[in-house]
Structure 1
Amino acid sequence: MGWAIAVHGGAGIDPRLPMDRQQEARDVLLYCLQLGVNALKASVPAIDVVELVVRELESNPVFNSGRGSALCTKGTVEMEASIMDGSRNKCGAASGLSTVKNPISLARLVMEKSPHAYIAFAGAEEFAREQGVEIVDTNYFITAENKDRLEQAKEMNSIQFDYRIPESEDGVGKPDENELLPTVRSYANGKPVLEKAFGNGVTCENGDQSSCKSGYFPESEINGVPINLYQPETVGCVAVDIEGRCASATSTGGLINKRSGRIGDSPIIGAGTYANEICAVSATGEGEAIIRATVARDVAALMEYKGLSLQDSVDYVINKRLEDGKGGLIAVSSNGEAVAGFNTMGMFRACATEAGYYEVGIWH
């Protein structure tokens, strides 16, 4: 028993992502993780912690949520988010947002201040104004980079996850073998493990090149339409507080060049977000596949009905239920555990537990 927290910034990262962008994402994740840890140590309820952390992620254009959201084919943003309080079996979600500064807080208001679980598009914008949430001009969310990525996606006739690769290889991080970005994992037993990632997509355990693996995941498809797996992407946070209460929150801008009106997994309770009295889960990746696999709910169901551990449940869902798509998830249990799992080359993630586990990483 004890508090635990996990944060993610998307799965499916291309190993050619420039080293400075990798470090920038790590820094944001580390800051948000510490923000959540401090709140949990101060006995803040899990539901407040996950909203706090995701609001911070939405305010930073490094990831695809809030400011910096992906643009749909019309060149506009259609943001979506959901939140769930496992201790009360309550949830709220919103989609099609274009002026709400922090979508996750509107999802929280849907949960707390409406009789509904999910409100979308014009109705969600109207509800936001009724509730007095902060509204901003649509230009606040749109960055020059995302405009460029939309044009690239249209030229390629493809749907893209948040594209972060420069057109020229001059900006790509390709360090020599001594220039590694470490992922430090400290376990409760005091035995540290150091994972290091090379800029050319090679990952090694403990810096040992004999254990290195390399390669690229090929392009995937959604109903025959090419989809590229380059990002940071969707953001999410799961937490369990010192009272054993679990909560989950997920927020995204969706896919670049997606059809207007498309809704992904992030606001779907049971797919991208779920929490109950046993665990909390937030997913990221290929939304259509995550919806079909009911990823978040299945992790909880395996624990609830089969008695599997959190780790075994996450492994099963990633390896068996998500076979037709790419993605990942973070999860915590009421016992104070934190787990991350993904079937892509990498996932931006950060975890910490009261028992001493600590991780900020990208690659496997």
Structure 2
Amino acid sequence: MARWAIAMARWAIAIHGGAGVDPNLPEHRQEEAKRVLARCLQVGVDLLRAGAAALDVVEAVVRELETDPCFNSGRGSALTRAGTVEMEASIMDGRGRRCGAVSGVSTVKNPVSLARRVMDKSPHSYLAFGGAEDFAREQGLEVVDNNYFITEENVGMLKLAKEANTILFDYRIPLAGADTCSALAAAVESHGSNKMVMNGLPISIYAPETVGCAVVDSNGFTAAATSTGGLMNKMTGRIGDSPLIGAGTYACGHCAVSCTGEGEAIIRSTLARDVAAVMEYKGLPLQEAVDFCVKERLDEGFAGLIAVSGTGEVAYGFNCTGMFRACATEDGFMEVGIWE
């Protein structure tokens, strides 16, 4: 559990690059991730200073994150058991709660922009697999070969995951054996092993995670967007929380939220929507609402989230070792961080 202690401003932006960061992540990996976050944050800050709308800002920032293979979205996405990429994304406009989402995307260079087109140019809120791909081509969005998204590092990680019979997050979730990560860690400890492993894998192996952005603009309008490649070694056809409005992404007059972590747990808790509901029905300020939802609404799953309020507050929370994150506000506050 953690927080940004920030006075209210007019516009504000928060971004994330995944929760559940390995505490033994090499220093150069940490610095690389922070550099990417800082660069992408600056894209959003420049747009907000120029008077851009929240919806345009979240799309632009997430596009930037999707293009960099440092995180698990767009290029650098996690691989399915079949060694292919199936990406998903969503975007939501706090004005009127319009939304768009896509799943099973394998050739669209920027899935978040396809989600935006679903919202703006189709009668629907959600398209998946072949239908989403066809719509992307109808809309003239840039498409690339599936190999564009696949990195050598992720090919190696998929091989390790298959050998260990696991599905990989930043934190590792076992496919068989121990029911939870904590149970597995206890089992390792009970056997007296001092080797740093989870699910049989060295925990220095780095699995990147979901990206997201939440913004309130100078007019007080909110928007949020989330994009991911999902889980390493996932079953083909698996859909997580990122494209599900109310679970991984939500925006309304009260706040905008983007989540990251164990998708199944986030789906069960409708985490993003719950932050807004707690603000609306319990009357809690943003950070207290975030803390409540992370502590009380999540079950045993690991997750984190970023959020902004309609009045310019910025908040975050997570129940795991760390979360790649960054934020900025109109009053000049700016931060890039990983740990509590």
TM-score (norm 1): 0.82
Does structure 1 residue 68 correspond to structure 2 residue 52?
Answer: no
Q: 1:240 aligns with which of 203, 206, 216?
A: 216
Counterpart residue number, 2:312: 336
Q: 2:272 aligns with which of 274, 292, 296?
A: 296
RMSD over equivalenced CA pairs, Å = 1.8
- 1:1-364 alignment to 2 at 5 Å? 1-161=9-169, 218=182, 231-364=207-340
2:225, 2:258 within 8 Å by CA — same for their partners in 1?
yes
Change in 2 beyond 3 A, CA 1:122/1:219: farther
- How much does 1:219 deviate? 7.0
Deviations 1:36-79 (A, max 9, x none): 01111111000000000000000000000000000010100000
Q: Which runs of 5+ in 1 are unaligned?
A: 165-216
1:239, 1:247 within 8 Å by CA — same for their partners in 2?
yes
Q: Which amino acid aligns with 2:115?
A: A
Q: Which amino acid aligns with 1:76?
A: T
Q: Which amino acid aligns with 1:146?
A: N
Change in 2 beyond 3 A, CA 1:51/1:325: same
Distance 2:45 2:315 in 1: 16
Distance 1:84 1:18 in 2: 35
Distance 1:309 1:363 in 2: 23
Q: Which amino acid aligns with 1:337?
A: E
Change in 2 beyond 3 A, CA 1:155/1:227: closer
Deviations 1:276-319 (A, max 9, x none): 01100000000000000000000000111111100000000111
Q: Which amino acid aligns with 2:306?
A: I
1:162, 1:256 within 8 Å by CA — same for their partners in 2?
no
Q: Which runs of 5+ in 2 are unaligned?
A: 1-8, 173-180, 186-198
SS of alignment partner, residue 289 of structure 1: helix
Deviations 1:222-247 (A, max 9, x none): xxxx6989533000000000000000
Deviations 1:320-354 (A, max 9, x none): 11132101000000110111110111000001111
Runs of 4 or more above 6 Å deviation: 226-229
2:22, 2:170 within 8 Å by CA — same for their partners in 1?
no
Distance 1:40 1:290 in 2: 29
SS of alignment partner, residue 124 of structure 2: coil
Deviations 1:203-226 (A, max 9, x none): xxxxxxxxxxxxxx74779xxxx6
1:11, 1:232 within 8 Å by CA — same for their partners in 2?
no
Q: Which amino acid aligns with 1:113?
A: K
Distance 2:184 2:326 in 1: 26
2:262, 2:302 within 8 Å by CA — same for their partners in 1?
yes
Q: Which amino acid aligns with 2:80?
A: C
SS of alignment partner, residue 258 of structure 2: strand
SS of alignment partner, residue 280 of structure 1: strand
TM-score (norm 2): 0.88
Distance 1:219 1:21 in 2: 28
Distance 1:236 1:27 in 2: 16
Counterpart residue number, 1:189: none
Q: Which amino acid aligns with 1:14?
A: D
Q: Which amino acid aligns with 1:358?
A: M
Q: Which amino acid aligns with 1:327?
A: A
SS of alignment partner, residue 320 of structure 1: helix
Distance 1:133 1:69 in 2: 19
2:169, 2:231 within 8 Å by CA — same for their partners in 1?
yes
1:106, 1:128 within 8 Å by CA — same for their partners in 2?
yes
**What percent identity do the matched residue pairs reach?**
67
Residues matched between the structures, number: 308
